[in-house]
C-alpha cells in the first residue's frame, strides 16, 4: 500500500470514528433526557414548513454526492469484473495500456510453447495474441465522435474470456473483414448494429453480431481477427498476450521467467490484477464528486444554520421552560444538535432515494488510460448509500452547532420573559 492510500484510509477511519462517537453521544442524550429529545423530535414535524427547505436542500446535495461516487464505483466494478484468475496478461514493460504496448511475433512464438501454459482438448496452447487499437466513430445521437477500442483476437481469444457471451448474430470469420460489437457500444455509436458497415483505415468492416461483456471492460470494445487487424492498421507486432496457466504456481513461474529473460522486455500480471489497476479514470470522478459535494454542502450548512437559528428564535420561551425544569445547558445543546442531525438524516435518506433510480443505468466516459470510450453502469452500493447518509448527518450537525450553542446559553429569566 502506497503512502497516499494509507493516508486516505487513516483519514477515512478517523472520520468514521468521530461520526460514531457523535452518534453515540446523541443517542446517550436521547436516552438519558427523553423529554428534551421528544420535544425536539416533535418540533421537526410540527414546524415542517420551516424545515422542509433544509431537508430538500440536503437531499439534493446527497443525491449529487451519491451519483458522482456511483460513477466511480461503476468504473471500478467494471474493472474488477474483468479477467479470469487463471489467465496471465503479458504486455511490454513500461506500457500503461494494451494500446501502447508491443509484443513481437518472435516473442509470441517463444512464449506460446512454454510448459507452464495450459492446452485445450486438441493439445493447442491456450494463448491469445491480441491487437488493440483505437478508431474514431460518430455517436448515435449525432453529437460528435469518440475513440472506440478495437481488439483483434487470435482463435483462442474468445475461449480465454468466458464471461463474454454472443447475444445476436454470429462470431466473425477471419479474412472476411467482419467484426462483432458490444451491445452497449452498439447503443452509443452509429454503424455498430448487426448488419451495419463502417469504414476504418480505408476498409469497410461488416458487423455480424453483438456480444455481452458481462459488465466488464470488454463491454467497451469491438472484436475482430487479430491478423486482419494487423493488416488493416499496419501493425508489425501484437499489443499483448493472454495465456492460461496450468496452475497458480505456473502463473508465478511465467512471471519469473519473463523477468529473468533479457530477450523479453515484457511484464506479466494476473489478468484480474491487470484490469483492477486500470482504475485511474475513477480517481478524477471521485475528486470531482468530493469537490461538488463540498461546495454544495457549504450552502446546505448555511441553510440548516438559518433554519435552526429561526427555530431557536421562535422557541426562546420554550427553551427557558426547559431550563427551569432542570435540564442542563449541555442537554439543551445536544438536543438541538440531535434535531439538526435528524433533519439531515431525513434529507440524506431522501437524497439516496432520489439517486436510486439511476442504479444500473449504463453511461460512458473517456478512459484516461486508453483515451477511448469506456462504458459502465451507475453502482449505488449499500455502503455508498450509508456514506451519503453519514455525510448528510455531518452537514446537519455542523449547521446546527452554532444555533444550538446560542440556545444553550440563553439566560433563563430573559427566555421566560420573551414574547
CB-CB contact of 293 with 67 (8 Å) = no
- 418 vs 380: which has the higher pLDDT: 380
Reading the block at residue 135, the C-alpha cell is 478508431
What's the pLDDT tens digit per position in 12-42? 555 556 555 655 555 555 554 555 556 656 6
Percent above pLDDT 90 for the chain: 30
Pairing of strands 221-225, 145-153: parallel
- 166 vs 99: which has the higher pLDDT: 166
Mean pLDDT along residues 346-370: 79
- 368 vs 152: which has the higher pLDDT: 152
- 208 vs 56: which has the higher pLDDT: 208
d(CA 87, CA 118): 10
Q: Model pTM?
A: 0.71
Quote the pLDDT of residue 262. 82
CB-CB contact of 379 with 77 (8 Å) = yes
Least confident of 7-11, 302-306, 308-312, 399-403: 7-11
Mean pLDDT score of the chain: 80
Please return the burial class of 34, using the count of CB atoms within 10 Å of its CB with bins 0-12, 13-18 and 19+: exposed
Quote the pLDDT of residue 253. 92
What's the pLDDT tens digit per position in 96-150? 788 889 999 999 998 988 999 999 888 999 999 999 999 999 998 888 888 899 9
Percent above pLDDT 70 for the chain: 76
Identify which of 127, 90, 124 has the alpha carbon closest to the alpha carbon of residue 261. 90
In which band, very low, low, confident or very high, does the pLDDT at 244 lie, cut at 50, 70 and 90?
very high
Quote the pLDDT of residue 37. 55
Quote the pLDDT of residue 17. 60
Q: Which of 35-49, 53-67, 346-360 has the highest mean pLDDT?
A: 346-360
**pLDDT over 60 at 207, yes or no:** yes
**pLDDT over 90 at 167, yes or no:** yes
- 219 vs 397: which has the higher pLDDT: 219
What's the pLDDT tens digit per position in 359-398? 877 776 666 566 667 777 788 888 888 888 888 888 888 8
Quote the pLDDT of residue 1. 43
Quote the pLDDT of residue 311. 66
**pLDDT over 60 at 4, yes or no:** no
- 412 vs 239: which has the higher pLDDT: 239
What's the pLDDT tens digit per position in 253-306? 999 999 888 888 999 998 888 887 776 555 666 676 677 767 776 777 777 777
- The number of beta carbons lying within 10 Å of the beta carbon of residue 16 is 12
Identify which of 232, 266, 82, 214 has the alpha carbon closest to the alpha carbon of residue 152. 232
Mean pLDDT along residues 87-104: 89
Least confident of 40-44, 330-334, 335-339: 40-44
In which band, very low, low, confident or very high, does the pLDDT at 66 lie, cut at 50, 70 and 90?
confident
Residue extents of the structural domains in the chain: 12-80+280-417, 94-264
Contacts of 36 (CB under 8 A, 6+ apart): 29, 322, 327, 331, 332, 335
- 369 vs 189: which has the higher pLDDT: 189
- Straight-line distance from the first to the last Cα atom of the chain, in angstroms, rounded to the nearest whole number: 61
Identify which of 271, 258, 158 has the alpha carbon closest to the alpha carbon of residue 211. 158
Amino acid at each position: 500500500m502506497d503512502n497516499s492510500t494509507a493516508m486516505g484510509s487513516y483519514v477515512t477511519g478517523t472520520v468514521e470514528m468521530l461520526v460514531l462517537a457523535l452518534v453515540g453521544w446523541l443517542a446517550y442524550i436521547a436516552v438519558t433526557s427523553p423529554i428534551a429529545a421528544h420535544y425536539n423530535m416533535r418540533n421537526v414535524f410540527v414546524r415542517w414548513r420551516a424545515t422542509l427547505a433544509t431537508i430538500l436542500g440536503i437531499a439534493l446535495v446527497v443525491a449529487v454526492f451519491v451519483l458522482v461516487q456511483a460513477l466511480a464505483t461503476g468504473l471500478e466494478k467494471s474493472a474488477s469484473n474483468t479477467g479470469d484468475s487463471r489467465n496471465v496478461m503479458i504486455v511490454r514493460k513500461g506500457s500503461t495500456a494494451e494500446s501502447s504496448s508491443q509484443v513481437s511475433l518472435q516473442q509470441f512464438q517463444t512464449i506460446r510453447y512454454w510448459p507452464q501454459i495450459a492446452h485445450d482438448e486438441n493439445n493447442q496452447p491456450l494463448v491469445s495474441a491480441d491487437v488493440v487499437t483505437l478508431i474514431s466513430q460518430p455517436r448515435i445521437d449525432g453529437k460528435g465522435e469518440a475513440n472506440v477500442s478495437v481488439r483483434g483476437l487470435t482463435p483462442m481469444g474468445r475461449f480465454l474470456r468466458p464471461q463474454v457471451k454472443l447475444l445476436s448474430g454470429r462470431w466473425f470469420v477471419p479474412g472476411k473483414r467482419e467484426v462483432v460489437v458490444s451491445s452497449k457500444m452498439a447503443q452509443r455509436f452509429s454503424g455498430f448494429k448487426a448488419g451495419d458497415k463502417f469504414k476504418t483505415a480505408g476498409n469497410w468492416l461488416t458487423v455480424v453480431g453483438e456480444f455481452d461483456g458481462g459488465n466488464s471492460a470488454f463491454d467497451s470494445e469491438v472484436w475482430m481477427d487479430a491478423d486482419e487487424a494487423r493488416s488493416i492498421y499496419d501493425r508489425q507486432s501484437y499489443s499483448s498476450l493472454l495465456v492460461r496457466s496450468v496452475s497458480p504456481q505456473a502463473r508465478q513461474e511465467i512471471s519469473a521467467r519473463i523477468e529473468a529473460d533479457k530477450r523479453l522486455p515484457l511484464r506479466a500480471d494476473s489478468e484480474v490484477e491487470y484490469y483492477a489497476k486500470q482504475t485511474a479514470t475513477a480517481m478524477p470522478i471521485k475528486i470531482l464528486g468530493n469537490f461538488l459535494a463540498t461546495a454544495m454542502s457549504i450552502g446546505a450548512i448555511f441553510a440548516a444554520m438559518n433554519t435552526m437559528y429561526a427555530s431557536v428564535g421562535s422557541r426562546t420561551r420554550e427553551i427557558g421552560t426547559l431550563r427551569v425544569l432542570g435540564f442542563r445547558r449541555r442537554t439543551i445543546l445536544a438536543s438541538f444538535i440531535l434535531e439538526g442531525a435528524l433533519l439531515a438524516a431525513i434529507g440524506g435518506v431522501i437524497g439516496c432515494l432520489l439517486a436510486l433510480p439511476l442504479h444500473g443505468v449504463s453511461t460512458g466516459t473517456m478512459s484516461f488510460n486508453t483515451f477511448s470510450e469506456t462504458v459502465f453502469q451507475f453502482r449505488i452500493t449499500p455502503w455508498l448509500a450509508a456514506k451519503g447518509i453519514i455525510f448528510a448527518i455531518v452537514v446537519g450537525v455542523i449547521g446546527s452547532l452554532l444555533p444550538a450553542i446560542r440556545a444553550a446559553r440563553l439566560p433563563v429569566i430573559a427566555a421566560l420573559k420573551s414574547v
